[in-house]
Amino acid sequence: MVLGFIAGLSSEASVMLLVCMFAVCFFEAINGFHDTANAVATVIYTKTLPPVFAVIWSGTWNFLGALLGGIAVAMGIVKLMPINDLMTVSIGENIALVMSILVSAILWNLGTWYLGIPNSSSHTLIGSLLGSGFAFWTVHNGSGPNWGKAADIGMSLLISPLFGFSLAIILMYLLKISVKKKTIFKSPDETKKRPPVWIRAILITTCTLVSYFHGNNDGQKGVGLALVVLMAFLPMQFALDPQLSSSDLAGSVRKIESALLVPTGVPATDAQHISLATTASSVAAQIDTTSRQERKGVYSVRLALQSLHKSLETSVKGGVITGETAKVVKSELKNLTKAYEFSPTWVVAMIALCLGIGTMIGWKRIVVTIGEKIGKSHLTYAQGASAELCAAAVIGVSSASGLPVSTTHVLSSGIAGTMVAQGGISNLQKKTIKSIALAWVLTLPVTMILSGLLFLLFRLFA
C-alpha cells in the first residue's frame, strides 16, 4: 500500500502524501453522500424501503460498482492532466498542484451539499483538474491540460442529462399507455401506505442499478484522482507498471514489429509498415537497455510507448494496417496500454470503501430536493422508477465507453422529464430548476478559477 512507498520520500513529503490521500478519501466520501440521494430518493420517498436499510443497500452496491468497474473512466480523469510534465518537476510543485485540486473540489462539493443543491461531483473534479492544470502550464510552459480529452468529457457531461430527460419522458408515456393499474401513478401521500410488492420490486431494482453504475462511474473518478496524487508524489513507481516486466513489455513490441515486417507471410514492401516496424524495434531495444531504477530512462520509455501506441492506433484506424496484422497490433496494443495505464488493487478497494461509507451518511438534504422540489407534484412510483431506470442506462453506457457523467444531473433531469410527462412544463418548480441549472453552469468555471488560484498560492509555500 501507500505506506510501502513512503520510505523513498522525505518526512515532509510523506506527511503531505498521507494528507492528500486522506483528502482523496474524504472527497470520495462526500461524493458518496452527495450522490446517494440520487439512488435512494425514490425508494425512501415512496416508502419502499426504510431509510437506514436503503442507504446500506445503496452503499453496498456503490462499493461493488467501484470495485468491479475497471479503470477506463479513471484513465480518462488522469489523461486530463499533464502527467508527463508532473514527472519532471520538483515534488513541491506537485504538492501544490494536487492540494489545489483537492481543496477546490472538496469546498465546492461541501458547499452545494450544505445548501441541498444536487451538484455534479464530476463537474467539480474536472473543473478543479483543468484549472490547476492550466495554472501549472502557465508557470512551467509544459504540455498543459489535455483539452482534447476535456472536450470529449465535456460533451458527455452536456449530452447525458438531455438523454436522461428525453428517455424519462418517453418511458413515462409508454407506462401510461401500457399499465392499466393506476396505483403506480400515485404518490406516497395519496396512498398513505407502502406500495404494492410488484412496485417495490421495480423500485428496489432501479435503486440497485443506479447505485451500482454510480459506483462504477464515480468510483473510477476517485481512482483517477488518487492516481494523479500518487503520480505527483511517486512518479518513478507509477510511470510504468512494476507488475509488468521489461522483457514482457519488449516482447509485445517485438510481436508488433514482426507482424508489420511479415504481414502476409512474405516480407513487407510497404514503406509505412517498414517505418513503423523500425520504430517498434527501436522502442523494444530502449526497453531492454533501460533500468527501471533510472528516472530519466523510465520516463523516456513511457513517452516512447505512448508515441508508438498513438502511431499504431492512427495507422489501424486509417487503414494503413489491415487484416491479420491489424488483429495482432490491436491485441498487443492492449498490453502496451497496461504498461502506463494501471491502478493498484488497493487503490480501487480504498476508493470503493470510501464511496460505500459516504453513501451511508448525509443523504437527507438531497432526498427532499429530488422527491419534492423538482416538480410541483410529489414524486410518484412511476416517476421514480422511470427516472432511475433511464439514469442507470445512461450511466452504464457512459462507464462502458470510459466517459465520466454526472449521476446528479442525469437523474435530476430524468425526474424533471417525468414531471413534464405527468403535467407538462408547468409542473416543474422554477426555483429548484434554476438552482440546479445555476450549479450546473457555475461549477466548471468556479472550480477552474478556484483551483488555479489555489495552485498559484500554494506554490509560494512549496
- For residue 428, which phi and psi values (nearest 5 degrees)? -90, 145
121 with 109: CB under 8 angstroms? yes
190 with 439: CB under 8 angstroms? no
Rg for the chain, CA atoms, rounded: 24
pLDDT number for residue 254? 92
pLDDT number for residue 21? 92
pLDDT number for residue 222? 87
Q: How far apart are CA 433 and CA 439, in angstroms?
A: 10
Do 187 and 258 sit in the same domain of this protein?
A: no
Q: Which residues contact 46 (CB under 8 A, 6 or more apart)?
A: 187, 188, 195, 199, 203, 379, 380, 381, 384
Do 329 and 212 sit in the same domain of this protein?
A: no
pLDDT number for residue 375? 46
What's this model's pTM, rounded to 2 decimal places? 0.80
Do 25 and 171 sit in the same domain of this protein?
A: yes
124 with 439: CB under 8 angstroms? no
pLDDT number for residue 56? 82
Q: How far apart are CA 390 and CA 24, in angstroms?
A: 29
What string of pLDDT tens digits covers the 462 residues of the chain? Answer: 555 556 567 788 888 899 999 999 988 888 777 666 667 777 777 778 887 788 788 888 888 888 887 788 888 888 887 777 777 778 888 889 999 999 999 998 888 777 766 667 778 888 898 898 888 888 877 666 777 777 777 777 778 888 888 888 898 888 888 877 777 777 665 555 667 787 788 888 888 988 888 888 888 888 888 988 888 888 878 888 888 888 989 999 999 988 888 766 556 567 888 888 889 999 999 999 998 888 778 888 888 998 999 899 998 888 888 888 888 889 888 888 888 888 888 898 898 888 878 777 755 555 555 545 454 456 777 887 888 888 888 888 887 777 777 777 787 788 788 878 877 666 566 666 676 677 777 888 889 999 999 999 998 886
Q: How far apart are CA 428 and CA 125, in angstroms?
A: 29
Q: Which residue range is the domain that position 300 belongs to? A: 244-340
Do 105 and 213 sit in the same domain of this protein?
A: yes
Do 278 and 324 sit in the same domain of this protein?
A: yes
Residue 359: what residue type? T
118 with 373: CB under 8 angstroms? no
112 with 261: CB under 8 angstroms? no
pLDDT number for residue 172? 87
DSSP assignment of 381-404, as one string? HHHHHHHHHHHHHHHHHHHHTT--
60 with 212: CB under 8 angstroms? no
How many domains are contained in the chain? 2
Q: How far apart are CA 192 and CA 275, in angstroms?
A: 74
Do 347 and 330 sit in the same domain of this protein?
A: no
The x, y and z cell numbers of residue 122, run together, are: 464530476
- Mark which of 340, 360, 388 sits at the end of a domain: 340
Q: Which of 217, 88, 100 is nearest to 156 (CA)?
A: 217
Do 144 and 31 sit in the same domain of this protein?
A: yes
pLDDT number for residue 428? 65
Do 390 and 440 sit in the same domain of this protein?
A: yes
Do 232 and 252 sit in the same domain of this protein?
A: no
- Mark which of 321, 340, 359 sits at the end of a domain: 340
414 with 165: CB under 8 angstroms? yes
- Residue position matching grid coordinates 507498471: 241
Residue 17: what residue type? L
- Mark which of 288, 308, 340 sits at the end of a domain: 340
The x, y and z cell numbers of residue 293, run together, are: 531504477
How many C-beta neighbours within 10 Å does residue 207 have?
27
Q: How far apart are CA 44 and CA 203, in angstroms?
A: 10
Do 24 and 129 sit in the same domain of this protein?
A: yes
Do 141 and 233 sit in the same domain of this protein?
A: yes
Do 51 and 24 sit in the same domain of this protein?
A: yes
